[in-house]
Amino acid sequence: MKCSGSIQYAGAPANGWSHGQGGALVKPRFALLACGALLIATSANAADSGFFVGAGAGQMNTKVNDVFGSGYTFDEGATGFKVFGGYKFFPWLSVEGAYIDGGSPAIKEDDGAGTSGRLGIDIKSLVAAAVFTLPIGDRFELFIKPGFAYWDAKTSVNLVTPDFLEKYAETDSGGAFFIGGGAGFKATDNLGIRLEYEYFEVAPKYDDYSGEFVTEYDASASFISASFVYSF
């Protein structure tokens, strides 16, 4: 957008400024004020939209019922991290994509006589979500973000006895329902901090044989994290 200070109208000098009677300066002054107000509004809208990136870390808790059909429920936590980015269309609406690594949660048992075992389930996921934001003042905001996650899991079992060592691993992937929410604080115009909770639950898969959706895994994961966010 371009606003020019040289405004001409009928009966005015070429430079747009008239010193006649009856408020001859009103029209050019009004035009300049309108241009200034429009530029300020455009700048404000630009500040409320644009790209952003971020990274954070926190505690991931993974829960899987009936591991390998054994009836055992795995429910363990580990330190995880994530990186994310997105675009803010309006102060209240953004889209976001993220990569989340849930670390390596595991349970270990040792009988003290040379026999030990370890069961671990590592989960990584790609997430796409819409972010709905409620600004509170100039610095704080609350948000909720529903979406969908594509997860990849590796389940590993190690068994050590005085006589042998056995290792087994299985990988799988699929979709998961996703919901997140939290609060944000804007430290500067570009740098912010987030505290949030995110939850994944494995989605049913469509079974061609039965012609209906079935739940192959009863599994979920939750992630509590703190992140830094940079807005462009």
- pLDDT tens-digit profile of 91-140? 999 999 999 999 999 999 888 778 899 999 999 999 999 999 999 998 99
Q: Are 123 and 99 in contact (CB under 8 A)?
A: no
H or E element that contains 42:
helix 26-47
Listed in sequence order, the DSSP H helices in 12-132 are 26-47
Cα pseudo-dihedral 104, 57, 63, 149, rounded to 10: -110
Each domain of the chain, given as residue ranges in start order, spans: 1-47, 49-231
180 touches 199 (CB < 8 A): yes
98 vs 25, higher pLDDT? 98
- What local confidence, expressed as pLDDT, does residue 206 receive? 64
Class of the 49-231 domain?
mainly beta
> What are 163-204's pLDDT values in tens digits?
888 888 888 888 888 999 999 999 999 999 999 999 988 766
Please give the pLDDT value at position 164: 82
Q: Are strands 219-231 and 212-214 parallel, antiparallel or unpaired?
A: unpaired
Mean pLDDT highest for which of 9-13, 25-29, 137-141, 203-207? 137-141
Chain length of the chain:
232
- Backbone dihedral region of 28: left (phi > 0), alpha (psi from -120 to 50 degrees) or beta? alpha
What pTM was estimated for this model as a whole?
Answer: 0.74
**Better-predicted residue by pLDDT, 31 or 205:** 205
Eight-state DSSP code of residue 103: -
Q: Choose between 29 and 151: higher pLDDT.
A: 151
Query: Which of 15-29, 42-56, 98-112, 161-175 has the weakest average pLDDT?
Result: 15-29
Tokens found for residue 54 = 């971020």
Contact in structure between 77 and 64 (CB atoms under 8 Å): no
Higher local confidence (pLDDT), 168 or 2: 168
Q: What is the structure's pLDDT at 27?
A: 52
